[in-house]
Amino acid sequence: METKPSINVGGLSFEWDLEEGRFIFEGQDSVLFWTASAMKIFFDSIEEISGEDAASVVMESTGFRQGLLVGDYFSEMENVSVAEAANLITNTYASAGWGLAKIQDMDEAKQTLRVHLKNSWEHKINVAQGKKEGGSYLAAHYAGIFSKLFNTSIWYSIVHHQIDGYEETIIEYFPSEQNIEENIHRFARLKEAEQIDQLERLVQEKTGELNSLIKEISSPIIPVLEDIVVVPLLGTYDQARAEELLVKTLQNLPKHKANYLVLDLTGLNDRFTQEAASLIEKLGSTAGLIGTKTILVGISPQMSMVITESGIDLSKFNCFQTLQHGIHYALAQNGRAIL
C-alpha cells in the first residue's frame, strides 16, 4: 500500500492523498488556494454581485461565526486556559498561512486583549484588490473565537490596518452587547432607509416635473384670432395655481396684443366655488387695467347661483352661454364677423 505524503510543521500535521485528491490538515479535509489570484477573484465576485458594503457585512458575519466554531473547538479542550488556547490557535493559523498573529495585553478578568496581525491572507487579498481600507473578516473572526473562550459577547475596535502603512494590523477586543446579528439588521435598515430616501427623491423629482407640466397645460392661453385670446379654466384653483394663472395671463396678453380676453368657464361646472368667482373677478379687473376687455362664457345656472351667493359682481363683464357666442361678440366690436 502506497504511503501518503505527510509532514509535521510546528506540531501540526499536513497530509496528501493524491489518489483521492485530498489535502488533510490536522486530520480534516482542507483546501489550498492562491491568495492574490484565486481568492482575490472570489472576493471581487462577491463585491460585484452584492456591492462593497453588503460584501463587507457578509465577510464580517462569516468571520465571526467561523470564529465561534473555532473557539468552541478549543474551549472544549480539557485543562487548557484561555491564554493557552489562544497560543494554540495562533500557531495553527500561522501554519495554515493565515499570517502572523500575536495576542498581547490579555486580561482574562476584564476579558480584554489586543491582537496584532501581520501579513494575513486578508491583507494580501486587500492589497491585490487595490483596497484603501482593510477588511473586517479576521477582526470579527477573533471576536467570535474569544466570545467562545470567554463565554461572553466580545466585539472589536480596529486601531489601524497594515494596509494603512503600518507594520501590522492592531485590533482591540472587549466585552460588548454589540453582536453580528445587530450589525446585519442595522445594515438592512440602512439599506431600507437609503431605498426610501431614493424613492422620496424620485417622487419629489417626478412631482416637480408633473407640477411643471400642469403649469404648462393648465389654463393655456390660446390666441384664436387677431387681438382675441381664449383662456379655458379647468379644475380647482388653489392659491398657488390661481397666482400662476394671473401672472401667466397678464404677462402674455400684451404679447398677443389682445384687446379681448375670453374666459371659458365650462371646465369649472362641478368645481365652481366662491374662490373661483373671486379669481375670475380679479383676473378680469386686472386685465382691464392693461386695456384688455374680459368676456365670460360657459356660465351655467349652478355657477350663477354661486356667484349671486358670493356677492361678487361679475356683471361688468359681458357674459355668453357658449365660447362661439363670445368670439362672435368680440369680432363684432371691431366690425368683423365669421362668414
> Based on the domain organization, do 223 and 263 belong to the same domain?
yes
> Based on the domain organization, do 235 and 264 belong to the same domain?
yes
> Based on the domain organization, do 253 and 169 belong to the same domain?
no
pTM of the model: 0.56
Residue range 177-189: mean pLDDT, rounded: 67
> Based on the domain organization, do 174 and 45 belong to the same domain?
yes
> Based on the domain organization, do 51 and 161 belong to the same domain?
yes
For residue 198, is it within any domain? no
State the pLDDT at residue 234: 82
State the pLDDT at residue 191: 63
For residue 328, is it within any domain? yes
Instruction: Tell me the C-alpha distance between 121 and 91, whole Å.
Output: 15
DSSP 133-199: S--SHHHHHHHHHHHHHTTS-EEEEEEE-GGGT-SSEEEEEEE-S--HHHHHHHHHHHHHHHHHHHH
For residue 125, is it within any domain? yes
For residue 281, give every residue at least 6 positions away whose Cβ sits within 8 Å of its Cβ, in sequence order, or none: 312, 313, 314
Residue range 131-140: mean pLDDT, rounded: 91
Confidence of residue 290 (pLDDT cuts 50, 70, 90): very high
> Based on the domain organization, do 52 and 155 belong to the same domain?
yes
Tell me which residue range forms the domain holding 11: 1-32
For residue 209, is it within any domain? no
Instruction: Tell me the C-alpha distance between 166 and 309, whole Å.
Output: 84
Residue 270 above 80 pLDDT? no
> Based on the domain organization, do 43 and 173 belong to the same domain?
yes
> Based on the domain organization, do 119 and 4 belong to the same domain?
no
**Considering the chain, what is the average pLDDT of its residues?**
86
Confidence of residue 190 (pLDDT cuts 50, 70, 90): low
For residue 213, is it within any domain? no
List the CATH number of the domain containing 82.
3.30.1380.20
State the pLDDT at residue 196: 67
> Based on the domain organization, do 145 and 230 belong to the same domain?
no
- Total domains, the chain: 3
State the pLDDT at residue 228: 92
For residue 172, is it within any domain? yes
pLDDT per residue as tens digits for the range 85-113 = 999 999 888 888 899 999 999 999 999 99
pLDDT per residue as tens digits for the range 2-25 = 568 888 887 888 899 888 899 898
> Based on the domain organization, do 71 and 27 belong to the same domain?
no
State the pLDDT at residue 287: 92
